[in-house]
Amino acid sequence: MGQVQSTLAVTIVEGRNLEDNDIIGKNDAYVEVYLDKDYKQRTTIVKDTNNPTWNQKFTFNLQDNNDSLYLDVYDDDTMGRDSIGSAKIDLKKYVFGKECHNAWVTLPAMLGLLSKGEIHVIVKHHAKK
């Protein structure tokens, strides 16, 4: 593992038009956010909506080898969870060297032709001084 170079402040603001696979009701959605699959953080579950609002902030220590932020969105069910969609934010392209990345991130469907919804994310990079 690399040395801590800086921190990343991530706010998962809200979701919109999340794909609903439930037969009865709507999604009970939450987001797992991570740089490394061994250290995931997650939002609370927002029940019975396809347009959830979280407004939750997370902080990550960036290693010198971190170049992507991952978002996995799930529908919490009694018997486990169903994947709604996933997305990746390229930190080198959208975050590093910028004040703030404030955007709606699409959860692409198969082959990226359709969308399974969007997640509003704010990402701020704080360089180590």
Q: What is the helix, strand, coil percentage profile of the chain, to 5?
A: 5, 60, 35
| Alpha carbons 73 and 82: distance in angstroms, whole number | 9
DSSP 3-state assignment of 92?
Answer: helix
pLDDT of residue 2: 56
Q: Which two three-digit tokens encode residue 64?
A: 């010198």
CA distance 64 to 47: 37
Assign 105 a pLDDT band (cuts: 50, 70, 90): very high
Whose tokens are 């593992």? That residue is 1
Q: Is the pTM of this model over 0.75?
A: yes
Indicate the pLDDT class of residue 72, thresholds 50, 70 and 90.
Answer: very high
Average pLDDT, the chain: 90
Confidence of residue 122 (pLDDT cuts 50, 70, 90): very high
pLDDT at 112: 65
- DSSP structural state of residue 93: H
Domain ranges of the chain: 4-127
Cβ atoms 64, 2 nearer than 8 A: yes
Q: What is the mean pLDDT of residues 73-98?
A: 90
- Give residue 114's pLDDT: 82
Dihedral sign of CA atoms 112, 59, 43, 81 in order? positive
Tell the CATH topology of 4-127.
Immunoglobulin-like (2.60.40)
